[in-house]
Structure 1
Amino acid sequence: MLLPVIMAGGSGSRLWPLSRTLYPKQFLALTSNATMLQETVKRLDGIDHQAPLLICNEEHRFIVAEQLRKGGMDNSGIILEPVGRNTAPAIALAALKAVVNDEDPLLLVLAADHVIQDTDAFLASVQHAKAEAEKGKLVTFGIVPTHPETGYGYIARGDAINNNAYYVNAFKEKPVLELAKKYVNSGEYYWNSGMFLFKASRYLAELEKYSPDILKACQAAINTATQDLDFTRLDKDIFECCPDDSIDYAVMENTKDAVVVPMDANWSDVGSWSALWEVNEKDASGNATRGDVLVENTSNSYIFSQNKLVATVGVDDLIVVETKDAVLVAHKDKVQDVKGIVGQLKQASRYEYLQHREVYRPWGTHDEIAEGDRFHVKHVMVKPGERTATQMHYHRAEHWVIVKGTAKVINGDKSYLLSENESTYIPIGSPHSIANPGQIPLELIEVRSGAYLSEDDVVRLEDYGVGY
């Protein structure tokens, strides 16, 4: 049976401002009501498989767990990378985890941030690849190109094994446009999808042959890992020693057993706003819109509204994206340059590259409503059965007003319940936390006041409870 391995890392900076470092595109609902991660898991329903094994950045662990929970989706574990080390080590971690009980499953390696619109074609390609992987081949999926694309790497096919699989002749870097045209016109090249299928043992054997340093570092990381519920936590110091390399460079370009199986499934890695425009449904004027959007004399544009009415008049080939704290306006031909804006934000140490105004926590969310010279107002939601960390502040006091649900408050040496339309005052220096003992989400308005209101004015008190 297949063991899907879903790689849910990456920052998705080219889809800023919707995608942020702490909440990147794989956790967003971009083409349906489900997130890209949830769509990736749902896509597997047509084949027999074990519950998927996921790999993600440690900072995203609760987002992954919560999205699986909301989707009613099981998992075989979530491996947490303390630092990113590219695809070759990530897949090595999954393979080592898979063989720990002397098992040797077929690993179906998928990215969590791909759009595949033809699920039947995807599943058919997986079945074709399964036959080759069971023979010990390392299979990569080559996307049948629809146009000359300079943003993807290519796979050159060699001799045919059968009508559904070919030996790999070569992997090619992202080409210039003229070369991309030659690749597509030849009919012998595919886009490199970054999806794979092989036995766990075969991948580890080839990794030991061609990139033993990666295997050694990953073995050390797995051997010293700790288990925390579904999470496998790696030692940061050990895993940081692992070389940073892709599976293509570390294994696939070196192995003698690389096979490519074509896939014609309306695939996209949604690597830019223009790519997202391409995969979304459009009106008669070629516009793809989401949210509260009005268009007049507008064509061939992608317009996204998260929070406000967005209206366009007399524009063509534009990307317009509105979030609670940022607006992007870009020409469709220049969307690759969005990463330059992200770079400017990082250099200026602005939070907008890192996270949204609405911040997700294991216990719930908080969203900034208003801010002034000596006040800061947030809307806070605490999930049923959850609680915040107990903490104190040296420079600010807080007022809490309950607007929905019931709250259990710790305030200094006191503990008490508050219900809707009740409030409480948290003085400077008082240890405090809030819990939701009820069955519905707890919502409150938090008003901070004081001379210094930044997030770093916080001391978490572990003796009072578990901090996040």
Structure 2
Amino acid sequence: MIVPILLSGGVGSRLWPVSREAHPKQFQPLAGELSMLQETLERTRGLNASSPIVVCNEEHRFMVAEQLRQQCIDPGALILEPEGRNTAPAVALAALHAAQDDPGAVLLVLPADHVITRVEAFSEAVQSALPLARSGRLVTFGVVPTSPETGYGYIKCGATLGDRLHELERFVEKPDGQTAAAYLASGDYVWNSGMFMFAATSFLEELEQFAPPILAACRAAMVGAKTDLDFVRPDAGAFSACPSDSIDYAVMEHTRRGAVVALDCGWSDVGAWSALWEVAEHDAAGNVLRGDVLLDNCSDSYFYADSRLVAATGVENLVVVETADAVLVAARDSVQDVKRIVQALKSSERPEVSLHQKVYRPWGSYESLVTAERFQVKRIIVNPGAALSLQMHHHRAEHWIVVHGTAEVTCDDRVFMLGEDESTYIPLGHRHRLANPGKIPLELIEVQSGTYLGEDDIVRFDDHYGRKS
């Protein structure tokens, strides 16, 4: 049985301001109607695969769970890395979990933030790789290059094993332009996609041979793992001893059991805004438009409007990205440098580096609409069946107005229902909770007033999601 392993630990800083630390690119619908994580999940449906295992971090756990729920997908496990240690430990945790349930499990390792436009070709490549993986090979999917790209690592293919199947001869680092052109002309090299297929036991055997400290730490972490709701929490103390390394460096560059499947499927790792321009549909002038965009005499540019009209005239080769609280304007050939903007925001301790104006929580989301001295207005969405913590505030009172759905309100000893167009007042210092007992999202407007309106003015008495004050 194929077990999809989705790696969802990246931040995607080059896709700021849409991708941010608290809500990175894999959870965003950047290339279609679904998020990139959901698109990756959908690609596994036609593979006769088992339930996926998703490896993510603590902060993103509820976003992952919610996006799987939206797709009606029950995960095999949601494994929470105690801290980021690169791809080799992440896959080791998943392999140990999968092998425990099924010693013959074949893992299909997929980053959760890639785009594939020809899914049928991807599925065919997976089926081609399956016999190799079952025979003990460690298979990597190498993308047939279409240009002398300097932003990707390359793999040199060795002896032919079958149609589009090769021995893995060696990995090479990102080349300069002249070297990349030579690789392309030779026909012997493919781009390193970061996607793999191998039996869980085969990977663990090679990891034990070439990176035993990683395997030892991951084994200890999984022995001490605890289950919380749908989440598997490896022991943090044991995992802290794990070295940080990629699958490539830890295993694939050393193994003699490597193989390559040449993959031609419209792949992109979406490492920058220019990559989204390349994979999207263009208008007659070479522009890509997302959202409410009005153009006059513009060409070869990417425009993304999230919350308002974006209008442009007489520009070319630009990337313009608008969100509710930030706008990025960059030359299309300079978008790799967006990481310097992100670093400057970090150095200045600006909240825009991490948080959007719309902030996601385990129970739903809230969005700041107006913020001024002594008052703030928010739009709150509570998912069906979800509830906020039982809490109180020292410095603010709150007014709630229901605009859609039904709210169950707890205020001290009172529990009552509010329907659409009804409201209530939560005085300062009173214990309260908001819940959605219905089957549709609850939407309300919250008006906060007081001397301090920060999110840290919360004392939690009870919480369904294990959060503490």
**Does TM, scored on the shorter chain, surpass 0.5?**
yes
Aligned-partner SS, 1:174: coil
1:188-227 superposed matches below 5 A: 188-227=188-227
Amino acid at match of 2:369: I
- Retained in 1: the 8 A contact 2:137–2:257? yes
Cα deviation 1:297-345 (Å, max 9, x = unaligned):
0000000111101111000000011111111111101100111111111
Structure 2 equivalent of residue 19 of structure 1: 19
User: For 1:221-267, what per-residue CA distance to the aligned partner results, in whole angstroms no more than 9, with x for missing partners?
Assistant: 11111112321112222212211000000000011111111001111
Indicate the residue corresponding to 2:81 in structure 1.
Answer: 81
Deviation at 1:467, TM superposition (A): 5.4
CA distance in 2, matches of 1:370, 1:102: 53
2-structure distance, mates of 1:417, 1:239: 46
Corresponding residue number in structure 1 for 2:453: 453
For the pair 1:318 / 2:318, whether they are aligned, the reply is: yes
Q: After superposition, give the CA deviation of every residue in 1:151-191 in whole Å (9 maximum; x if it has no partner).
A: 11000112222232111111111111111111111111110
- How far is the alpha carbon of 1:420 from its aligned partner? 2.3
Shift of residue 148 of structure 1? 0.8
Cα distance, 1:418 vs structure 2: 2.2
Paired amino acid for 2:414: K
What is the CA distance between 1:45 and its match in structure 2?
2.8
- Equivalent residue of 1:461, what SS? strand
1:232 aligns with 2:256: no
In 1, are the aligned partners of 2:362 and 2:465 still within 8 Å (CA)? no
Task: Give the structure 2 partner of residue 271 of structure 1.
Answer: 271
Q: CA deviation at 1:271?
A: 0.5
Query: What residue in structure 1 maps to residue 374 of structure 2?
Result: 374
Can you list the C-alpha shifts for 1:116-138, whole angstroms capped at 9, x where unaligned? Answer: 11112111211221121122111
1:99 match: secondary structure: helix
Deviates more, 1:442-451 or 1:17-26: 442-451
Is the contact between residue 220 and residue 235 of structure 2 (CA under 8 Å) also seen in structure 1?
A: no
For 2:147, the equivalent position in structure 1 comes to: 147
Partner SS state of residue 44, structure 2: helix
- TM-superposed deviation, 1:46: 2.7
Which letter maps to 1:205?
E
1:183 equivalent to 2:193? Answer no
Q: Which residue of 1 aligns with 2:344?
A: 344
- Match runs of 1:163-182 below 5 Å: 163-182=163-182
SS at structure 2 position matched to 1:183: helix
How many angstroms apart in 2 are the aligned matches of 1:163 and 1:407? 59
C-alpha distance in structure 2 between counterparts of 1:44 and 1:407, whole Å: 37
Q: How does 1:127-138 map to 2 (within 5 A)?
A: 127-138=127-138
Q: Distance in 1 between matches of 2:20 and 2:77?
A: 25
Where does residue 159 of structure 1 map in the other structure?
Answer: 159
State how far apart, in whole Å, the 2-side matches of 1:380 and 1:285 are: 40
In the alignment, what sits opposite 1:249? 249
Aligned residue for 1:184, secondary structure, equals helix
Q: Secondary structure at the match of 1:110?
A: strand
List per-residue Cα deviations over 1:273-308 (Å, max 9, x = no partner). 000000000000000001111110000000011110
**AA partner of residue 419 (structure 1):** G
Within 1, Cα distance between the matches of 2:102 and 2:307?
Answer: 51
Find the counterpart in structure 2 of residue 125 from structure 1: 125
Deviations 1:191-240, CA, capped at 9 Å, x for gaps: 00001111111100000000000000000111111112321112222212
Number of residue pairs matched by the alignment: 467
TM-score with structure 2 length normalisation? Answer: 0.97
AA of the residue aligned to 1:232: V
Shift of 1:101: 3.6
Letter matched to residue 425 of structure 2: Y
Which residue is 1:105 aligned to? Answer: 105
- Residue number in structure 2 paired with 1:334: 334
Which amino acid letter does the alignment assign opposite residue 69 of structure 1? R
- 1:284 match: 284
1-structure distance, mates of 2:194, 2:155: 11
Among the aligned pairs, what percent are the same residue?
Answer: 55
What is the alpha-carbon distance in structure 1 between the residues aligned to residue 254 and residue 238 of structure 2?
A: 26
User: Residues 36 and 76 from structure 1, CA distance in 2 versus in 1: closer, same or farther, beyond 3 angstroms?
Assistant: same
> Is 1:432–2:432 an aligned residue pair?
yes
For 1:33 and 1:101, locate their aligned partners in 2 and report how far apart those are by CA, in whole Å.
34
* Runs ≥4 residues deviating over 6 A: none
Q: Residue 227 of structure 1: SS of its match in structure 2?
A: strand
Q: Look up the SS of the partner of 1:387 in the other structure.
A: coil
Deviation at 1:413, TM superposition (A): 2.9
| Preserved CA contact (<8 Å) 2:401 2:444 | yes
State the 1:422 CA deviation. Answer: 2.4
- Distance in 2 (alpha carbons) for counterparts of 1:350 and 1:235: 32
Shift of 1:51: 1.4
Residue number in structure 2 paired with 1:389: 389
Q: Alignment RMSD, CA only?
A: 1.4
**Greater mean alpha carbon deviation, residues 120-129 or residues 264-273:** 120-129
Gaps of 5+ in 1: none
SS at 1:338's partner residue? helix
- TM-score, structure 1 as length reference: 0.97
**Gap regions ≥5 residues in structure 2:** none
Give the aligned residue type for 1:32.
G
Q: Deviations over 1:336-380 (max 9, x none)?
A: 011111111111111111121111112111100001111111011
CA–CA separation in structure 2 for the residues paired with 1:70 and 1:439: 13
